[in-house]
Amino acid sequence: MISRRTVLNGTALGSALAALTVPTSAEAGGGEALQAPLDRAADDIAKAVVRLRDDLTQAITAIGTQVKRQETFWEIDPVRAPIMTFLRQTGKYPDYIEVGTDVWHQVYDWHVRYQQPKTVARSSEGRYMILLYSTQVVMRTELAPSYIGPAYDNR
């Protein structure tokens, strides 16, 4: 017994292959008439591929800065600079760094984007903090949203 799937797949494959064959009347002398539209279609496809390649090249060039941003962790770079300065001066990571709301959210988004564990807490003053490396990034809502303060220790 032949399964329904075999019959349908065989029919579909046979129909597709039959559509690709040249009819017998065209073989007698009309082959050139059928070849010209096929050549035009092939040329159109080739031109479309070239246009698409050129468009993609332009798009990649235009967003090159965004690609570089992803490689450099642009979200935390502004916070990382004072942390690294503190690390070079003291030989250890700072305990705290205060930032504005926009910077704090960029640090939070970095944790989400790169699937890093988020350790969010509240200070005794009620300020939100998130752990970046071993430094608590403290959100200061009363300061400018892009504020980044100096890194400091608990002492």
Averaged over successive runs of 10 residues, the pLDDT of the chain (155 residues) comes to 62 58 55 76 90 85 62 82 93 94 93 91 93 93 93 86
Residues 147 and 95 in one domain: yes
pLDDT at 150: 92
pLDDT at 20: 60
Instruction: Count the domains in the chain.
Output: 2
One-letter amino acid of 94 = P
For residue 143, being part of any structural domain is answered with yes
Alpha helices (H) in 24-142, listed in sequence order = 24-25, 31-62, 64-71, 77-90, 101-113
Residues 91 and 131 in one domain: yes
Residues 58 and 93 in one domain: no
pLDDT at 95: 94
Residues 50 and 103 in one domain: no
The answer to whether the CB of 103 falls within 8 A of the CB of 143 is no
| Residue 75, helix vs strand vs coil | coil
Comparing CA positions, the residue from 85, 70, 69 lying closest to residue 149 is: 85
Residue-range definition of the domain harbouring residue 127? 77-152
Residues 134 and 94 in one domain: yes
For residue 23, being part of any structural domain is answered with no
